[in-house]
């Protein structure tokens, strides 16, 4: 069993944890205000402060926490096999103690979210220096879809283990990197992109070693742990439905998503821009396309400016986002493209760019978070 590193928090870590909590409280308060003003409803039950965020995918995760994967479960539970198990399993364990799945979901997300900004600051700081790491963490915390780091969604847990894996690999702790990578693939499918990303990191470290010190390292086999989480997920499919790839059938039959060429999905986004009614044109068209372009630009930038492992992560994820018959939720998925925030940090060295990126991010964060709180689609 790999030995996990000691958790030693610096003053910068505590500052970022405090900032995360401050933004979390601010978003919860902002959500209440948006809900009351737009829906013209009072909130008298404190629990309702959390309930208003239990939208879209969140109830699916919480149902899995309560009922587990069950081919004969109540409601749409049989369809939720498309959601990966680590987050609902953790939430289910907490719910078994608290007896309140919404509170359990928020608690799991909150704990995970406290790791995200400090880990990002360390990953980026390792390459660009401490100030750039802290700036990157700031831009992640105010990213337009960063509200999902604070509600019962998987992004906080996923980014915590992904960034932990990158940091461990950068420090040569390959078994820890692989173990965290396995947790990532048990949380979301794009955790599999860690395989080429970590392989690229291993190759980079080998090439930068003095020629006389270059050698194959047995610890690189830790990268092979990454797919284990995905194999566990396939095992869940077998246990519940007798087919390791049943999730693909459900995804296509119910969610109308299947693997396809990138231009097919992007063409659908453009069609949404041109042919849907106003709000759908904006959210399913313009916003999706805008973040697709942002991700592509960030991928190209990463190819020339950042480590090959960062580029592999960007390129693999971007292709995964758009290589589907129905492109959806790219603004939310883009939150996982952490090199974007390093790019923003570098651009933000000029005060004008720092102000522009901060203002634009906060404006869209307010828009998207308010839509989520009032029950409208927000990726």
Closest CA to 166 of 211, 143, 133, 144: 133
Give the mean model confidence (pLDDT) for residues 157-186.
Answer: 98
- Per-residue pLDDT, averaged over 232-260, amounts to 94
HSE of 214 in the Cβ direction (CA atoms, 13 Å)? 10
Q: Where are the domains of the chain?
A: 11-255+354-374, 256-347
What's the pLDDT tens digit per position in 303-354?
999 999 999 999 999 999 999 999 999 999 999 999 999 999 999 999 999 9
pLDDT at 197 over 60: yes
Average pLDDT over residues 84-105: 98
> Given pLDDT bands bounded at 50, 70 and 90, which one contains residue 5?
very low
* pLDDT band for position 379 (cuts 50, 70, 90): very high
Confidence at 2, pLDDT banded by 50, 70, 90 = very low
pLDDT of residue 6: 55
The pLDDT of residue 1 is above 50: no
329, 128, 114, 15: CA torsion to nearest 10: -130
pLDDT by residue (tens digit) across 108-158?
Answer: 999 999 999 999 999 999 999 999 999 999 999 999 999 999 999 999 999
Q: What is the pLDDT of residue 7?
A: 60
Angle between helices 339-347 and 351-374 (to 10 degrees): 140
Rounded average pLDDT over 8-37: 95
- pTM score, whole prediction: 0.95
Mean pLDDT for 13-29 is 97
């Amino acid at each position: 069993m790999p030995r996990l590193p000691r958790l030693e928090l610096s003053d910068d870590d505590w500052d970022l944890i405090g900032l995360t909590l401050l933004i979390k409280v601010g978003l919860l308060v902002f959500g209440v205000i948006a809900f009351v003003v737009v829906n013209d409803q009072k909130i008298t039950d404190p629990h309702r402060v959390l309930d208003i965020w239990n939208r879209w995918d969140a109830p699916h995760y919480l149902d899995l926490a309560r009922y587990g994967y069950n081919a004969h479960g109540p409601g749409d539970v049989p369809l939720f096999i498309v959601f990966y198990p680590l987050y609902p399993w953790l939430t289910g364990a907490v719910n078994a103690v608290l007896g309140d799945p919404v509170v359990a979901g928020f608690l799991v997300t909150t704990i995970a979210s406290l790791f995200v900004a400090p880990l990002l600051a360390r990953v980026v700081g390792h390459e660009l220096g401490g100030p750039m790491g802290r700036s990157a963490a700031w831009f992640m915390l105010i990213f337009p879809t960063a509200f999902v780091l604070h509600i019962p969604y998987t992004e906080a847990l996923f980014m915590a283990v992904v960034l932990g894996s990158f940091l461990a690999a950068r420090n040569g702790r390959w078994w820890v990197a692989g173990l965290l990578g396995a947790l990532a693939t048990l949380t979301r499918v794009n955790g599999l992109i860690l395989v080429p990303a970590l392989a690229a990191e291993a190759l980079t470290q080998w090439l930068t070693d003095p020629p006389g010190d270059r050698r194959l390292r047995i610890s690189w086999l830790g990268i092979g742990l990454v797919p284990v989480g995905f194999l566990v997920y396939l095992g869940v499919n077998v246990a519940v439905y007798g087919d390791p790839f049943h999730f693909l059938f459900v995804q296509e039959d119910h969610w109308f998503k299947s693997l396809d060429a990138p231009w097919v999905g992007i063409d659908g986004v453009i069609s949404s821009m041109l042919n849907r009614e106003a709000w759908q044109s904006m959210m399913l068209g313009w916003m999706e396309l805008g973040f697709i372009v942002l991700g592509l630009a960030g991928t190209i930038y990463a190819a020339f400016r950042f480590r090959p492992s960062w580029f592999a992560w960007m390129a693999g994820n971007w292709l995964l986002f758009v290589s589907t018959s129905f492109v959806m939720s790219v603004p939310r998925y883009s939150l996982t493209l952490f090199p974007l925030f390093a790019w923003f940090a570098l651009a933000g060295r000029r005060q004008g760019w720092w102000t522009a990126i901060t203002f634009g991010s906060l404006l869209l964060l307010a828009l998207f978070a308010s839509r989520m709180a009032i029950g409208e689609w927000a990726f």
